[in-house]
Structure 1
Amino acid sequence: MTHRHFRRAAGRFPTGVTVVSGTLDGRPHGTTVNAFTTVSMDPLIIMVALGQHSRLRTLILHSGAFAVTVLSARQSRDARWFAASDRPDGEEAFVGRPWKPGPHSGAPVLLDGVGYFDCSVRATHTAGDHTVVLGNVEAFDVLSEEPPLLFHDSRLVPAPANESKERT
């Protein structure tokens, strides 16, 4: 069994795509993450997994707060941008992308997303080459009724064009 084979098998499970963000000393940072899930409804807890060597991981551990924006099907470009290791740091990374500071963390919430969660760090756990971060949800909201962006078979997959915006 190889890492590539494991990744291929795991890629059969579609996931949503998020941008996890934080701020430290007034400098915002964000990165694309598809390892995100809700954990508890009482209390409200979510989970993200960040690479052990991620700048964002270090920033979140120091600041104790972060935000998660769930991306819309129209945000493939943003997903790729925040995944690129050569993107600029700080506010430059967010130029041309409408955002607001999360009400609790001050971390960027991308306004073109479909929803957001603004969190304080509840706990962290080392899990191999990642750190699992549990967040107490301090604020959240729905940003739009657009379909979400998905990740499946190692690629971004926008929702089908004929998907109805009506919810039944």
Structure 2
Amino acid sequence: MNDDSLIPGSVDPALFRQVTGRFATGVAVVTTVVDGVDHAMTVNAFTSVSLEPLLVMICVEKIARFHDMVLRSGFWGVSVLGEGMREESQWFATRGRPLEGQLDGWSYHRGPATGTAVFTRAVAALECRTHAVHAAGDHSIVVGEVLSLDLPDPGGKPLIFYTGGYRALGG
């Protein structure tokens, strides 16, 4: 059998994005603080990992300025965005936006465990301490031990990302 699709490196990256984009995900903003400066980034690669101990993970692109800051800090917050938070998602996904004042205009408070920014309109929020970091191609998998949990908007519906666009949860 001679199937070129089984040869490493022969998978089309554009098709890969299209195929993996068929997996609907939630959207979150991850935050950290280093030397009094807030850093934030939109992610959709966030998931629970373990109940004992309580662990979650995020994937951060190595070239993102957030990458080095979250590793340096060792503490981070996750705000799971509600369906009315598309603007927040887009702003914190914008590469090269100014660091100074990047949280201005967004409603947030400081998490009690880490002091990281937690969005007050989020449907869920967590604060974490880095438990492990694993290299994964052009990203790092950052595993965090959960230090605190909150439901800022417990009745809210999540912002969904599917096939390259934002969606609302049906029903």
Shared topology, TM-score over 0.5?
Answer: yes
Q: Distance in 2 between matches of 1:81 and 1:24?
A: 20
Whichever of the two has the greater Rg, that structure is: 2
Residues 31-75 of structure 1: CA deviation (Å, up to 9, x unaligned): 100000001112110000000111111011111110010000000
**Pairs within 5 Å for 1:31-110:** 31-90=41-100, 92-110=101-119
Q: Distance in 2 between matches of 1:57 and 1:88?
A: 16
Q: Secondary structure at the match of 1:97?
A: coil
Q: Distance in 1 between matches of 2:54 and 2:150?
A: 13
Equivalent residue letter for 1:12: R
Q: Distance in 2 between matches of 1:86 and 1:26?
A: 19
2:134 to 125, 128, 133: 125
Cα RMSD for the two superposed structures: 1.0
Q: Distance in 1 between matches of 2:162 and 2:117?
A: 26
Partner of 2:123: 114
Is contact 1:74–1:158 with CA below 8 Å preserved after alignment? no
2:14 to 4, 7, 10: 4
1:158 to 158, 163, 168: 168
Equivalent residue letter for 1:115: A
Q: Secondary structure at the match of 2:84?
A: coil
Q: Distance in 1 between matches of 2:115 and 2:18?
A: 36
Deviating runs (4+, > 4 A) in structure 1?
none
Is contact 1:46–1:134 with CA below 8 Å preserved after alignment? yes
Is contact 1:76–1:158 with CA below 8 Å preserved after alignment? no
**1:143 is the counterpart of 2:159:** no
Equivalent residue letter for 1:24: V
Structure 2 residues without counterparts, runs of 5 or longer: 1-10
Structure 1 residues without counterparts, runs of 5 or longer: 164-168
Q: Percent identity?
A: 35
Is contact 1:66–1:107 with CA below 8 Å preserved after alignment? yes
Partner of 1:166: none
TM-score norm. by structure 2 comes to: 0.90
Q: Secondary structure at the match of 1:113?
A: coil
Q: Secondary structure at the match of 1:5?
A: helix
Equivalent residue letter for 1:153: T
Residues 94-138 of structure 1: CA deviation (Å, up to 9, x unaligned): 111011111122111111110101000000000000000000000
